[in-house]
A and B are shown apart, each in its own frame.
Chain A
Amino acid sequence: MGLGAYLVLAALVFAIGLFGVLTRRNAVGILLGIELMLNAVNINLVAFARFAGNPAGVVFALFTIAVTVAEVAVGLAIVIVIFRVRRTVEADHLDLLRG
């Protein structure tokens, strides 16, 4: 398979994840969309590493995965705190900072 096939696949998954982020009401659902988008980026990094013959892309994918795990842990902790305070995780209801 050529490099283009992997890049198109990653772009498709990224667009699907973006659709999820834009349309989900639940904060956890929005986080799932972000996961999909980061995953698509990882596909791009590894594909470029393979086709350029440079392992730096794989190293970056490894770092991205670790950072994503940290992001999910903090994000879900915030969701749990929001739920404790506001009794909801609907993103539309969380407008305390609206000007």
Chain B
Amino acid sequence: MTLETVAFGAVAAVLVAASLAVVLTPNLFHAVLWLAAALVATGGIFLLLRAPFLFGVQLLLYAGGVVTIVVFAIMLTERLVGESLRQTSRYVVNGALVAAAVFVGVVGFLVQAPAPAAPAPAPADLTVVLGRALVGPWAVVLELLAVLLVISLLGALYFARTED
């Protein structure tokens, strides 16, 4: 139990620090790299929650795929301008106020809500349960998701094609 607490504290600290770096660092390219760190830390949270398959998906899709796409987008939109990658933020005080208000509101709701004391007994292998659920009660949603992915990728391809 204590080992889990220590692991949670370490991963949470990395996650919060990386998230702050994503929104605060002036260099957009560095922000993407910090986002990759934050996504990997989130994968660590998934491991602590006994969802190793989700950890793999997080690494492959998020930290691998999304970060690569964003890096390409930055290279396509920034380097052609010849400007530096530095960027400024606006309304920092107002944004911090709104974000802090949302955080306080959510936490204020959380302390009132009754929380389960202990986690439910975990299944022996969540991946097996997950696979059965995906082709059982959630099969239609899974197929819809596949169609959505194809449509959105075709749309992205259509948008980003060269004009010739």
Interface positions of A (Cβ within 8 A of B) = 1-9, 11-20, 22-26, 28-29, 31-33, 35-36, 39, 42-43, 46-47, 49-53, 55-56, 58-59, 61-63, 65-74, 76-81, 83, 87-89, 92
Cross-interface CB contact of A83 among B22, B77, B106, cutoff 8 Å: B77
- For B, the interface residue count at a CB cutoff of 8 angstroms equals 84
Known interface pairs A39-B42, A50-B120, A83-B76; A76-B156 also in contact (CB < 8 Å): yes
Known interface pairs A24-B89, A72-B70, A76-B69; A43-B42 also in contact (CB < 8 Å): yes
The answer to whether A29 and B87 have CB atoms under 8 Å apart is yes
Which chain B residue shows the least CB distance to A72?
B66
Which chain B residue shows the least CB distance to A4?
B115
Which chain B residue shows the least CB distance to A19?
B99
CB distance from B55 to the nearest CB of A (A): 10
The answer to whether A39 and B38 have CB atoms under 8 Å apart is yes
- Binding site of B, secondary structure by majority: helix, strand, loop or mixed? helix
The answer to whether A6 and B87 have CB atoms under 8 Å apart is no
B126 located at the interface, meaning its Cβ lies under 8 Å from any Cβ of chain A in the complex? yes
Which 9 A-B pairs rank lowest in CB-CB distance, beginning with the nearest? Answer: A53-B120, A20-B23, A22-B95, A70-B152, A15-B103, A77-B159, A19-B99, A77-B156, A23-B95
CB distance from A99 to the nearest CB of B (A): 21
The answer to whether B73 and A70 have CB atoms under 8 Å apart is no
Within 8 A of A (CB), among B64-80: 65-66, 69-70, 72-74, 76-78, 80
The answer to whether B54 and A46 have CB atoms under 8 Å apart is yes
In the bound complex, what is the Cα–Cα distance between A33 and B70 (angstroms)?
12
B84 located at the interface, meaning its Cβ lies under 8 Å from any Cβ of chain A in the complex? no
The answer to whether B160 and A22 have CB atoms under 8 Å apart is no
Known interface pairs A16-B20, A68-B66, A69-B61; A9-B15 also in contact (CB < 8 Å): yes
The answer to whether B77 and A66 have CB atoms under 8 Å apart is no
CB distance from B32 to the nearest CB of A (A): 7
The answer to whether B28 and A29 have CB atoms under 8 Å apart is yes
Cross-interface CB contact of B88 among A25, A28, A39, A80, cutoff 8 Å: A25
The answer to whether B91 and A22 have CB atoms under 8 Å apart is yes
CB distance from B159 to the nearest CB of A (A): 4
The answer to whether B49 and A78 have CB atoms under 8 Å apart is no
In the bound complex, what is the Cα–Cα distance between A51 and B116 (angstroms)?
7
Residues of A within 8 A of B38 (CB): 13, 36, 39
The answer to whether A1 and B160 have CB atoms under 8 Å apart is no
